[in-house]
Amino acid sequence: MLKGGVIMDVVDAEQAKIAEEAGACAVMALERVPADIRRDGGVARMSNPAMIKGIQAVVSIPVMAKARIGHIAEAQVLQSLDVDFIDESEVLTPADEANHIDKFEFDAPFVCGATNLGEALRRIGEGAAMIRSKGEAGTGNIVEAVRHMREITSGIRHLGTLSSTELPTAAKNLAAPLELVRDVATRGWLPVPLLCAGGIATPADAALMMQLGAEGNFVGSGIFKSDDPERRAKAIVEATTHFNDPERVAAASEQLGEAMPGIEMSAIGEDARLASRGW
């Protein structure tokens, strides 16, 4: 149960301890944070199992890890390591350009990224237990996460306005399973938690996403690429918890040092956009 919490990207046991002590409700173990993956280029793959085990050994909170989109064997390896959640992630280089993992084949729960409601429902239809926005990872720019969260939540509200006769066409247009479309129209929300990921760099970014409907925040490069990771991690937890309390968000935002360097979307070519990975 990770609702209302912050899940932080960490690359070693030391960072994992800092994240846990700062109040993270889970950590995402990965080899390089997205900002470095973006900078280094090449093929980004599942993390080294030894590193994941090292992190599991030092924290008591859940440990998540990323598998490439469609990479069934990486997911099997992560499950065998007893990770608490597998992120089938566009931040890594996709292994399959047409298919995602059949997540019902696994006992470990999966989180998947989505840019809109249709994509979210396709992932849930494949067995995802949690959806997160994709944002544009490693940019320190919140604009894409905002776009994705608004796409998903306004899509949900729209379904709620349709009659039962109109839902099959809505499902066709969303390219999503009809049963899930009916379910979302009735309950007014996804059947799984919806979190934000991709671009959170400041406490105010975290508060913004919670106000837009996120049930928790993933923070990747934003913490360990900043001046003072420990303090920034705590501040982002504080802002996620008290997202409706601007005075607390303000207090948390003081004396943090520099945030990670940001990248304007227009400076990233279409080819270099991570959010467009996934189908």
Partner 1 sequence: MKHLGSVGATGLEVRLPADLVGIDGLILPGGESTTITMGLDQYGLADPIRELAASGVPVLGTCAGMILADRQHLGLIDITTRRNAFGRQLASFEDEIELAGVGGPPFTAVFIRAPWVEDLGDGVEVLAEIQGHPVAVRQGNVSAFSFHPELTADDRLHAWFVDACRSRISPRSVIQPE
Q: Which stretch binds partner 1 (CB under 8 A): 75-83, 115-123, 148-156, 220-228?
A: 75-83
Pick from 137, 71, 75: nearest CA to 107: 75
Distance set, CA 265 to CA 143, 151, 227 (Å): 8, 18, 23
Q: Determine whether 66 is an active site residue.
A: yes
4 forms part of the interface with partner 1 (CB under 8 A): yes
Q: How far is CA 6 from CA 124, 214, 245, in A?
A: 22, 11, 17
* Shortest distance (Å) from residue 251 CB to partner 1: 12
Binding partner 1 (rule: CB under 8 A), the pick from 9, 11, 18, 20 is: 20
CA distance linking residue 8 with residue 30, whole number of Å: 10
> CB of residue 178 vs partner 1: minimum separation in angstroms?
22
Report the alpha-carbon distance of residue 100 to residue 96 in Å, rounded: 7
Q: Which of 10, 13, 18, 24 binds partner 1 (CB under 8 A)?
A: 24
In terms of CB distance, is 3 or 158 closer to partner 1?
A: 3
Helical packing angle, 178-187 and 167-174, nearest 10°: 120
Name the residue nearer to partner 1 (CB basis): 44 or 237.
237
User: What is the DSSP secondary structure assignment for residue 271, as one 8-state letter?
Assistant: G
Residue in 3, 17, 53, 66 annotated catalytic: 66
Query: Nearest distance from residue 107's CB to partner 1, in Å?
Result: 5
Q: Is 54 in the site for partner 1 (CB under 8 A)?
A: no
Options 54-62, 66-74, 133-141, 156-164: segment touching partner 1 (CB under 8 A): 54-62
Q: Does 60 bind partner 1 (CB under 8 A)?
A: yes
- 3-state SS of 75-142 is HHHHHHCCCCEEEEECCCCCCCCCCCCCHHHCCCCEEEEECCHHHHHHHHHCCCCEEEECCCCCCCCC
Residue 63 burial by CB count (10 A; 0-12/13-18/19+): exposed, middle or buried? buried
Asked if 271 interacts with partner 1 (CB under 8 A), we say: no
> Which contiguous run of DSSP H or E holds residue 67?
strand 63-68
Which residue of 12, 36, 84, 228 would you call a contact of partner 1, by CB under 8 A?
A: 84
Closest to 91 in 3D by CA, of 272, 244, 250, 279: 272
- With binding defined as CB under 8 A, does residue 1 bind partner 1? yes
* Candidate list 16, 83, 111, 210; residue touching partner 1; CB under 8 A: 83
Q: Which is nearer to partner 1, 133 or 241 (CB)?
A: 241
Asked if 10 and 22 touch (Cβ cutoff 8 Å), the reply is no
Under the binding rule (CB under 8 A), the answer on residue 3 touching partner 1 is: yes
Is 105 a residue that touches partner 1 (CB under 8 A)?
A: no
For residue 25, state whether it binds partner 1 (rule: CB under 8 A).
Answer: yes
**Shortest separation between residue 209's beta carbon and partner 1, angstroms:** 17
Contact flag: residue 101 with partner 1 (CB under 8 A): no
Contacting residues toward partner 1, per CB under 8 A: 1-5, 20-21, 23-26, 60-62, 79, 82-85, 107-109, 241-242
Q: Which residues are part of the catalytic machinery?
A: 66
